[in-house]
Amino acid sequence: MWTYRYLAPILVLVALVEMLLATEHVLEETFLEGVMHYGTMTGVQLDWPVLAGCLAGCLFSYWWMHIKHFNYLRLIIIGLAGVICYLLGYYFTVSSDIHISRLYLPMACRGFGYAVLSVTFLTCAEEIMSFQHFFQSLAVFQMLHMVMGGVIGAAIYTRGLKYYIPDNMARYGAAIDNVAANGLPVNIPHFMDALMSQMTEISIKQMYGWAAYACIFLFLLFLLYDAPIRRKLKQIPSWQKIRKMVVESFADKK
C-alpha cells in the first residue's frame, strides 16, 4: 500500500481535515453546555441540519462525479469551502443571546463539507491503487478518521481553551477590585458566573478564529496545487469478478 505515490499526501490531508473538524467534540460542546446551558435533548436538535448537510453533500458529489463528470479532485476545494463556512459561521454567531436556530446553517455547512471530503478522499484512494490494496488504505483512513486526527485536534483545542480562558479572565477581570465590586448593582456570585460564561464565549470565538485561519490557509494551498485534470473515474469491479479473483487466488496457492 505504501508504494503508491499519492497515498501519503491524501492521508496527511485527511488528518488535517479531521483535526479541523474536531471542533465538534470540544468547542461545540463547550459552547452548548458551558455558555448556552443546553441539555442533551436540546443539543440533539442540531443533528438534523448536520444530517441534511450530509445528504446534500453526498448528492452533490454524485452529481459532480457521475452525472457531470467534472474533475473529482476539485471537490476537495468545495468541501474545504464548506468547512470554512462552518468555522466562520460559528465565529460570527457564537453568543449567549442567540436562538438555537441561528446555528442550523453552520451545522448544515459542516455536514456538507464533511460528506463531500469523505466521498472525495475515498474516491482518491480507490483511484490511485488497485482494488486488492484499497481496503488496506481504507483501514488507515478509518484510523486517521476515528483516532489520530480527531484526538490530536481535540487536544489542541482543549489546550487552547485552557490557555485563553485564564488569559481572558486576567485581562478583563483586572478591572474588578474591591472598590469596583462594592458599586455593582448585582450580587457578586451571579456577576462572576456571568463573567465566566462571557470569558468562555470569547475564548471559543478565538479558537474558532484560529481554526478558520488554518482552514483558509489549507484552502489556498490546495488552490495552488496543479492537480491533473481527470474527468472519468476508474470502473469498480463487480462482485462476480471479485469472487472469481478470490477463487483464482486460492487456487494458485494450492
Q: From residue 246, give the alpha-carbon distance in Å to each of 88, 135, 164, 236.
A: 49, 14, 56, 16
Q: Which residues of the chain have pLDDT under 70?
A: 173-192, 225-239, 252-254
Which residues, other chains included, contact 185 with Cβ-Cβ below 8 Å and sequence gap of 6+?
none
CB count within 10 Å of CB 89 equals 21
Residue 97 gets the label, from left (phi > 0), alpha (psi -120 to 50) or beta, of alpha
**Cell 499526501 belongs to residue:** 9
Phi, psi at 54, each rounded to 5° = -65, -45
Closest CA to 19 of 158, 131, 171: 158
**What is the 8-class DSSP label of residue 163?**
H
Q: What sign has the CA pseudo-torsion 197, 151, 39, 109?
A: positive
Q: Which amino acid is at 211?
A: A
Q: What is the pLDDT of residue 212?
A: 95
In a 3-state reduction of DSSP, which class is residue 25? coil
Structure confidence at residue 227 (pLDDT): 57
Q: Mention every residue, 6+ apart, whose C-beta is less than 8 A from residue 21.
A: 83, 110, 114, 150, 153
Output Rg (C-alpha) for the chain, integer angstroms.
23
pTM of the full predicted structure?
Answer: 0.84
Nearest to 110 by CA among 20, 43, 205, 223: 20
Q: Tell the CATH superfamily of the 7-253 domain.
A: MFS general substrate transporter like domains (1.20.1250.20)
Q: Are 107 and 49 in contact (CB under 8 A)?
A: yes
Spatial contact of 113 and 79, defined as CB atoms under 8 Å apart? yes
Domain ranges, ordered by start, for the chain: 7-253
Question: For position 79, what pLDDT does the model report?
Answer: 93
Residue 176 pLDDT: 64
